Each structure stands twice: as structure tokens, then as C-alpha cells.
């Protein structure tokens, strides 16, 4: 409480006492016991009311003991069960849960991790991937400001994500790995990695790079065979020794048939090899007969151009070329789509050529667009010329019906800059993104598409789309989401297929450990998204003829079904809408591959390094008693007494109101009883 408040309280006491004495002593000229009591009650009333007006604040300090947290993080991936450590892990968890001294000293917090991280002690050992780095990212957010030594129960084998060996750079807690699995090194040959493009072009050859690794001391020779169906397309002898423990094999295979072609790469097992699962890798390539070529025509230099090119070419089926207007004229027949970036007077011949060839276009306008010229080059939209610019943020239109759009958190994207004022359209348009200014959504298009005279066109009213791609990377640590969004837009604009009420999005093939998800959008007869429809997918395994039906689940502005966990094989499917004569069919291939079965041993070296870097200690699964004793005797993990200061204003003290009411009531009753009123 500051000095000023104390002075106000003293002054309030003097005023309250003066008024009470004036009322019952000076004015009445009596000093009886009744008058003294009434003086006291009046003083209490006036002083309490003045205290409420001053409303002083008091510091309320409470003390409490905070035990350190003990994080138990368990690897829930399939590799633990494959290494036959699942029962020992469950036994260890049961021992930790029942250890009374350990629970008295620590707050035990249980987590499981695989592809995702969950706060749970329920173990199934069915995760298809393991990403310890994600675990440490999550834990650093939760326990960044507290004491939380971490017991990491894992085999140390990682299948994707950032290398967890450097997790201590962000997770500042001691880590105590409990190592699972056999540490004995067996003789083994495995396909460490196989690199191949997802797409190839008809009558071309596509490269395949294979990295084979050998563990052992003796010299061995075996054979690498690549087959497609029952045919062998490649074979080669490969040799290993203790000093030459890896081989890189580069080959090219022909693409002779349109569609998905599956292959099997196998290294023939050597004598006494324990794990033969990792000798095999299946892969697939989709052969297409045409590559979509996109021309990006611009008369200026801008970062948007590079972002567009990279985004478009992230899909190997597409190629983007940046051209000046004059250069485009001589190459116009080579492209299926033209992106017109900030047109100016030099684009007149470009527009004439596009009209002659009846090509689809995507126009991007901005602060350097010559609207006087653009208004004259085409008749679909016009912009009033103000010579002023404005920045617009995007807001997704959930009712966009032309193709499936995922919400990339557009409302948090940086604004785009363009001419101030509304762009007026003379043709019906489908709005993908609305303009938003200072949090207010306008009924004006920022990004829209339209179809006229058998051609498809799109327009983005704003420059700076490179910032959107960068923001998407910051949000997701990947450009994939933004590139997929641009890919769908380019795919729509580069084709002239008729608009349909049911759109289905899927991949031609999936790796065995990938999420197998198929999404769909259904629109009513007015081409408005229908969130009340019932969609089902009927899936047929071509090998076994078995048929299963799964329902789609509504997810934001589309429907989605998760088919992860299906056995490898070729499937045909039909997506249908209940009570409607509308359906779409397709085919997918799921490749046989389980990354968690590629390991024979625990990664002891990496786990020991992790422990050393974090000032922890590594233990094997049989040393759990030593682990518990070490945790109990470590002076770094002690209960800490903490204090909490809470500033409480007097107006929150309800007893003061009760005192005021009581003193007023008592004063009135005494005055009434003594005939003073």
C-alpha cells in the first residue's frame, strides 16, 4: 500500500470521527453511554463508506510447495513390439506407477509418442512412424519454465522428422533414456534408402537411386533384383566388406505404360541374416503422357514470380516458364495456361494471342498494373483508376464450389497490395477469397474464378503472394500446404472439364506408412456446398475381391475418409451420395512397406549422446532400479517452496458491506429504542 493511500485512510478516519462527534456529542450536548455508542456506530459507517471510495489494495501472499515433474515418455511405435520389448515396457510403467517414494517426490506425467504425441499411459505399440523430435518440441512448450527430468523409454530408432539427437537445443531438461531392444550387432544387409520421382513421362526413362548398407565383418556378395509384376527389369551383383559397408546403385527404368506402375526392389538375403524384411522395398511411379506447361508473363521483376514458379513446379507434372511479353508471342503454342502478372501496355499482343488460341488465363494485378490498358484489353472486369493503393487481407469463402479448398488459415496471412476501390465484373464469378480491411470483410473478391465462352479464367487482386508462401512455411514448417492450394488452382485453370457437383481428391498410390485419406466435396443443384449430405465410399480389393464401405466425415468445408491401416494392394472405389444418383469412381494402390520393421537393434549410441548432452544418464531396460535410485538421490530435483502474491482491492471484501449494514441497523434500532427518532 503506497503512502498516498495511507494518507487518504487517515484523512477518512478524521472526517468520519469528526462527523460522528458533531452529530452525537457537540450537537446534542450529551455524553451518555448511548451517545458514545451511537458515535462509534456512526464513525464505523462513515469510515467504511469512505474506505470503499478510496478502495485501498492489499497484498495477499500464499505459500505452497511445488514438487518437480517427472515426465515418462514412451515410444508407442510398432518397432517396440517388433523388437519384442512391449511386455517389458508395460512392466516398467507398472513399476513406476506403484513406486510410492517416487510418486511422493515427483508429479509423474505420462506421454506416448509415435507420429503424434499424446498425454497418456495407454500403450498399443501400433504407431506407424516414430518422431522423438516432435515429442521434445511439445514438452519444451509445456515444461519450459519448470523442473521436469524426462525418462525416455524407446529403442532410439527414428523414422521421420528432425534429428532428435539435437533436441537439447530447445528442451532444457535432463533426459534419462531407457534403451529397449537387442544391442548385439547381427549380420545384416538392408536397403537404407530408395529415391525415385513420383511421376514419369511416357516413352521416357526415369532414374532410381538405391542405397544399400551392410553390417558385418566378412566379405559378402549378393544380388540386387528389381521386378515389376512377374518380370525382372533389373539385376546386379553387389559386394560388401567391413571397410566397404555401403553401396549406391543408380539405374534408369523405362516408362512404357500410362498409369501407376509398381516395382519391388530386393537384395537377396545372405546366410545367417536375421532380418530379411529390410531387404525389400516396394515403390511405384505414375506414368503420364503429357506435362502441363505454364507461362508466367511479366514485364517487371518481382518476388512473386519466383514464388509462383516454385509453387507450380513442386508438382512434377507441371513446368513453369517466366517470359517477357515479346518472348511469349513466339512460344505461345507451348503452353496450356498463361499467368499474366501485372499487365501493362506491352501486353496488347499477349491478349490478342491468348484470344486467338482460346487459352485459359490467371491474371494477377497489383500496384504496378496499368489498369487503363487492362480495362481495354478485356471486357470481363473493370477497375476505377484512383492512383491510390490499399492493402487487403484474405478471408476464405466456405461456399466456393468449383474445387476443394483447404483453409490454410488465410485470415492470418499478410495483406496483398492493389489499386484502391472495387473491381466490377461483367460475368458471373466464383469467389475463393474475399477482401478484408481492418478486420471487416467486404463483399468484394480478392481471388476468384469464372468461365466464359468455354474458357476458364482467374484473377488475384493483389501483389505479394510470396509472403503467403513464406507464412505457410512458418505455420507448417513446409511449403506443401500452400503449393497444394496453388496446384489445385492451376489444375482447374489449365483444364476445360465440365463443372460437377461431386469432386473427389486422392493420390494414385500411397506408401504403406502414409496416411491414406480421400476427400470430397458435394454441392446442391445451385452449386452451394451441402454440409448435410451423406457420402460413402465403397472400396474393393482387386486381389481378394473383398468389399468394404466407409462413411465420409464432415471436416470444415469438405468430407474426408481415413483409410489408413488397409493392407497393401490394388483397390478400386466408388464415392456415392445417399439419395442421389451421383457417384465418382477411381483406383488407388497401397504399397507394402513398414518402416518400423527395418531395425534390428536399438540406437544405443544416439541415446547415450542425447543423455550426455542433456546432463542425464542412459540405462538399459534391465537397470530400472538403478534409474529410480538415481532420480531419488539427484539433488537437482527437489521440492521448492514458492509464494504467490495476489493484490486484493478492498471493494472485493464483502464483510465490509456487512459491517456497514450492521452498524446502520444497530444505530437505527438504538435511536428508535431511546426515542431519538
pLDDT attached to residue 499: 66
pLDDT attached to residue 675: 74
- What pLDDT, in 10s, does the model give residues 464-507? 999 999 999 988 888 988 998 998 899 888 876 666 788 888 88
Going by C-alpha positions, the residue among 190, 187, 240, 236 that lies closest to residue 211 is 190
Mean pLDDT (the chain, rounded):
86
pLDDT attached to residue 38: 82
- What pLDDT, in 10s, does the model give residues 404-458? 788 888 888 999 999 888 889 999 999 999 999 988 888 899 999 998 888 899 9
pLDDT attached to residue 619: 92
pLDDT attached to residue 353: 92
- What pLDDT, in 10s, does the model give residues 574-621? 999 998 889 999 888 888 766 656 676 788 888 999 999 999 999 988
Q: Are 249 and 196 in contact (CB under 8 A)?
A: no
Q: How many other β-carbons are positioned within 10 Å of the β-carbon of residue 304?
A: 26
Output DSSP code: residue 26. I
- Which residues on neighbouring strands pair with residue 209, listed in sequence order? 195, 250
Domains identified in the chain and CATH numbers: 3-61+648-673 (no CATH), 68-181+601-638 (3.40.50.410), 188-288 (2.60.40.10), 292-493 (3.40.50.880), 502-595 (2.60.40.10)
Among 126-130, 230-234, 302-306, the least confident range: 126-130
Q: In this prediction, what percent of the chain has a pLDDT beyond 90?
A: 36
Name the more confident of 232 and 495. 232
- Compute the average pLDDT of residues 199-226: 88
Among 123-127, 379-383, 467-471, 531-535, the least confident range: 123-127
pLDDT tier, 256 (very low <50, low <70, confident <90, very high otherwise) = confident
Q: How far apart are CA 562 and CA 547, in angstroms?
A: 16
Which whole-number Å values give the CA distances from 523 to 62, 191, 452, 454, 501, in the listed order? 60, 47, 21, 22, 5
pLDDT tier, 281 (very low <50, low <70, confident <90, very high otherwise) = confident
- Compute the average pLDDT of residues 318-323: 91
Q: How far apart are CA 216 and CA 270, in angstroms?
A: 11
Which whole-number Å values give the CA distances from 226 to 229, 230, 262, 444, in the listed order? 10, 10, 10, 56
- What pLDDT, in 10s, does the model give residues 652-672? 677 778 888 888 888 888 887
DSSP string, 433-481: EEEEETTEEEEEEEEEEEEETTEEEEEEE-B-HHHHHHHHHHHHSSSHH
Output DSSP code: residue 198. S
Q: How far, rounded to the nearest angstrom, does the alpha carbon of residue 259 sit from its chain's CA centroid?
A: 32
- Compute the average pLDDT of residues 155-168: 82
pLDDT attached to residue 617: 92
- What pLDDT, in 10s, does the model give residues 282-309? 888 888 777 789 999 999 999 999 999 9
Q: How far apart are CA 111 and CA 208, in angstroms?
A: 39
- What pLDDT, in 10s, does the model give residues 350-373? 999 999 988 999 999 999 999 999
- Residue 63 scores a pLDDT above 90: no
- Residue 124 scores a pLDDT above 90: no
- Compute the average pLDDT of residues 63-86: 86
- Compute the average pLDDT of residues 22-36: 77
pLDDT attached to residue 23: 79
Q: How far apart are CA 539 and CA 562, in angstroms?
A: 12
pLDDT attached to residue 600: 67
Q: What 3-state class would DSSP assign to 515? A: coil
Amino acid at each position: 500500500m503506497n503512502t498516498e493511500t495511507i494518507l487518504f485512510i487517515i484523512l477518512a478516519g478524521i472526517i468520519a470521527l469528526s462527523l460522528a462527534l458533531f452529530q452525537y456529542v457537540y450537537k446534542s450536548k450529551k455524553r451518555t453511554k448511548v451517545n458514545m455508542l451511537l458515535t462509534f456506530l456512526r464513525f464505523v459507517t462513515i469510515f467504511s463508506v469512505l474506505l470503499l471510495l478510496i478502495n485501498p489494495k492489499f497484498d495477499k501472499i500464499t505459500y505452497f510447495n511445488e514438487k518437480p515433474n517427472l515426465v515418462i515418455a514412451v515410444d508407442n511405435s510398432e518397432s517396440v513390439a517388433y523388437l519384442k520389448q512391449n511386455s517389458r515396457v508395460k512392466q516398467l510403467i507398472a513399476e513406476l506407477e506403484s513406486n510410492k517414494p517416487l510418486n511422493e517426490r515427483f508429479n509423474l506425467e505420462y506421454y506416448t509418442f509415435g507420429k503424434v504425441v499424446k498425454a497418456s499411459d495407454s500403450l498399443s505399440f501400433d504407431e506407424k512412424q516414430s518422431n522423438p523430435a516432435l515429442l521434445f518440441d511439445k514438452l519444451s512448450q509445456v515444461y519450459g519454465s519448470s523442473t521436469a527430468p524426462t525418462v525416455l523409454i524407446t529403442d532410439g530408432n527414428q523414422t521421420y522428422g528432425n534429428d532428435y539427437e539435437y533436441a537439447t537445443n530447445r528442451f532444457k531438461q535432463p533426459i534419462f533414456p531407457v534403451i529397449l531392444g537387442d544391442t548385439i550387432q547381427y549380420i545384416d544387409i538392408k536397403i537404407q534408402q530408395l529415391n525415385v520421382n513420383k511421376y514419369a513421362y511416357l516413352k521416357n526413362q526415369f532414374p532410381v537411386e538405391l542405397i544399400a548398407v551392410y553390417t558385418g565383418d566378412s566379405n559378402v556378395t549378393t544380388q540386387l533384383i528389381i521386378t515389376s509384376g512377374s518380370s525382372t527389369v533389373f539385376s546386379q551383383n553387389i559386394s560388401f566388406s567391413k571397410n566397404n559397408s555401403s553401396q549406391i546403385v543408380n539405374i534408369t527404368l523405362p516408362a512404357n505404360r500410362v498409369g501407376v506402375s509398381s516395382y519391388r526392389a530386393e537384395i537377396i538375403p545372405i546366410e545367417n541374416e536375421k532380418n530379411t524384411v529390410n531387404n525389400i522395398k516396394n515403390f511405384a511411379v505414375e506414368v503420364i503422357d503429357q506435362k502441363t506447361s505454364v507461362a508466367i508473363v511479366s514485364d517487371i521483376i518481382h518476388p512473386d514470380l519466383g514464388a509462383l514458379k516454385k509453387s507450380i513446379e513442386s508438382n512434377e507434372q507441371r513446368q513453369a516458364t517466366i517470359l517477357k511479353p515479346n518472348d511469349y508471342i513466339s512460344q505461345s503454342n507451348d503452353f496450356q495456361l498463361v499467368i499474366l502478372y501485372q499487365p501493362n501496355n506491352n501486353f496488347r499482343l499477349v491478349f490478342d494471342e491468348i484470344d486467338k488460341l482460346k487459352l485459359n488465363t490467371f491474371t494477377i494485378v497489383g500496384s504496378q498494373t496499368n489498369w487503363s490498358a487492362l480495362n481495354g484489353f478485356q471486357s470481363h472486369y473493370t477497375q476505377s483508376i484512383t492512383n491510390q493503393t490499399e492493402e487487403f487481407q484474405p478471408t476464405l469463402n466456405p461456399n466456393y464450389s468449383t474445387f476443394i479448398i483447404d483453409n490454410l488459415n488465410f485470415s492470418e496471412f499478410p495483406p496483398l497490395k492493389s489499386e484502391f476501390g472495387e473491381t466490377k465484373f461483367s460475368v458471373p464469378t466464383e469467389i475463393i477469397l474475399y477482401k478484408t480491411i481492418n478486420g471487416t470483410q467486404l463483399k468484394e473478391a480478392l481471388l476468384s474464378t469464372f468461365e466464359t465462352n468455354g474458357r476458364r479464367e482467374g484473377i488475384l487482386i493483389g501483389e505479394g503472394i510470396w509472403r503467403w508462401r513464406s507464412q505457410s512455411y512458418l505455420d507448417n514448417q513446409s511449403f506443401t500446404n500452400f503449393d497444394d492450394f496453388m496446384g489445385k488452382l492451376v489444375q482447374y485453370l489449365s483444364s476445360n472439364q465440365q463443372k460437377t457437383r461431386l469432386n473427389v481428391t486422392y493420390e494414385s498410390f500411397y506408401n504403406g506408412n502414409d496416411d491414406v485419406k480421400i476427400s470430397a466435396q458435394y454441392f446442391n443443384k445451385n452449386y452451394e456446398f451441402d454440409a448435410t449430405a451423406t457420402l460413402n465410399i465403397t472400396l474393393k480389393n482387386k486381389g481378394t475381391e473383398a468389399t468394404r464401405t466407409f462413411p465420409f466425415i464432415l471436416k470444415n468445408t469438405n468430407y474426408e475418409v481415413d483409410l489408413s491401416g488397409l493392407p497393401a494392394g490394388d483397390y478400386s472405389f466408388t464415392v456415392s451420395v445417399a439419395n442421389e444418383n451421383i457417384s465418382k469412381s477411381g483406383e488407388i494402390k497401397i504399397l507394402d512397406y513398414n518402416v518400423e520393421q527395418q531395425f534390428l537393434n536399438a540406437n544405443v549410441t544416439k541415446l547415450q549422446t542425447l543423455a550426455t548432452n542433456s546432463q542425464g544418464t542412459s540405462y538399459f531396460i534391465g537397470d530400472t532400479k538403478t534409474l529410480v535410485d538415481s532420480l531419488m538421490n539427484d539433488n537437482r530435483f527437489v521440492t521448492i517452496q514458492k509464494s504467490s502474491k495476489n493484490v486484493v482491492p478492498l471493494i472485493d471484501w464483502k464483510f465490509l458491506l456487512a459491517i456497514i449494514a450492521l452498524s446502520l441497523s444497530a444505530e437505527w434500532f438504538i435511536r428508535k429504542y431511546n426515542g431519538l427518532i
